[in-house]
Amino acid sequence: MWAVVPIKGFDAPKKRLAAVLSADERGEFAKHMLRDVLAALTGLDGVIVISGDEEALNLARWQGARVLRERQPGGYSAAVRQAGVALAQEGAAAMMHVPGDIPLITRAEVARIANLDMTAPAACVVPSRDHDGTNCLALWPPDLLQPAFGPDSFNRHCKIARDSGVEPAILELDGFALDIDTPADLRLFCAGNSDCGSLRYLQASGIAARVMQEKGTGTNGVDD
47-66 burial code (b ≥16 CB/10 A, e <16): bbbbbbbeebbebbeebebe
**Using an 8 Å Cβ cutoff, are 179 and 135 in contact?**
yes
C-alpha 131/C-alpha 105 separation (Å) is 17
Residue 169 has what pLDDT? 98
CATH architecture of the region 2-179: Alpha-Beta Complex (3.90)
Who's near 216: CB < 8 A, 6+ residues apart? 223
Residue 130 has what pLDDT? 95
Helix, strand, coil percentages in the chain from 3-state DSSP, rounded to 5: 40, 15, 45
Q: What is the pLDDT along the chain (224 residues), one digit of tens a residue?
A: 999 999 999 988 899 999 999 999 999 999 999 999 999 999 999 999 999 999 999 999 999 999 999 987 779 999 999 999 999 999 999 999 999 999 999 999 999 999 999 999 999 999 999 999 999 999 999 999 999 999 999 999 999 999 999 999 999 999 999 999 999 999 999 999 999 999 999 999 999 999 999 876 544 433 33
CA-based end-to-end distance of the chain = 38
**Using an 8 Å Cβ cutoff, are 32 and 38 in contact?**
no
Who's near 155: CB < 8 A, 6+ residues apart? 131
**Using an 8 Å Cβ cutoff, are 77 and 149 in contact?**
yes
Amino acid (1-letter code) at residue 201: Y
Domain boundaries, the chain: 2-179
The 3-state secondary structure of 38-99 reads HHHCCCCCEEEEEECCHHHHHHHHHCCCEEEECCCCCCHHHHHHHHHHHHHHCCCCCEEECC
